[in-house]
Amino acid sequence: MVLVAISRRTAIAILSSVAILAVALALASAPAIASAAGQGGDQAGKVGLGALGKTLGAGLAVGLAGIGGGYAVGVAGAAAISAIAEKREVSGMGLLIVAMGEGIAIYGLLVAILLIFVVH
């Protein structure tokens, strides 16, 4: 496995590109989600502002929570490995802290599911 070190500026540029792509995909998929949500009849080709907002909000919830969760797991994982290397007894606590960082991404996914299927 080859590890490549990238600068902070490059990482921010990559994350910004991913966020912009997620917003673009959310805007592009709004008509499909609106038609799948049961808008039929003469409104089949029209997308309401509510459906667009729900789609955009769901995309942002998943995207930003994923970025935040990934960052949290990276920082907490590095600190946990360092702590475990020094003191073997803290391995359970390190695993718990890393799992809390992963929970952030799961909460973002739950918010997106609630936005799309529950909020009217």
Domain assignment present for 3: no
- Sorted by sequence, the CB contacts under 8 Å of residue 61 that are 6+ apart come out as 108, 109, 111, 112, 115
Q: What is the pLDDT of residue 111?
A: 92
Q: Mind listing the pLDDT tens digit for each residue in 36-87? A: 666 555 555 555 677 778 888 888 888 889 888 888 898 898 899 999 999 9
CATH number at residue 29: 1.20.20.10
Which pTM was predicted? 0.61
Per-residue pLDDT of 1-46, as tens digits, reads: 556 677 888 878 887 888 788 778 777 776 776 666 665 555 555 5
Report yes or no: 104 and 65 within 8 Å, Cβ to Cβ.
yes
Q: Is residue 40, in this structure, part of any structural domain at all?
A: no
Confirm whether 42 is domain-assigned: no
Residue 103 sits at φ, ψ, to 5 deg, of -65, -30
Identify whether 23 is part of a domain: yes
- Rounded to an integer, the average pLDDT of 111-119 is 87
Report which of residues 18 and 120 the model is more confident about.
18
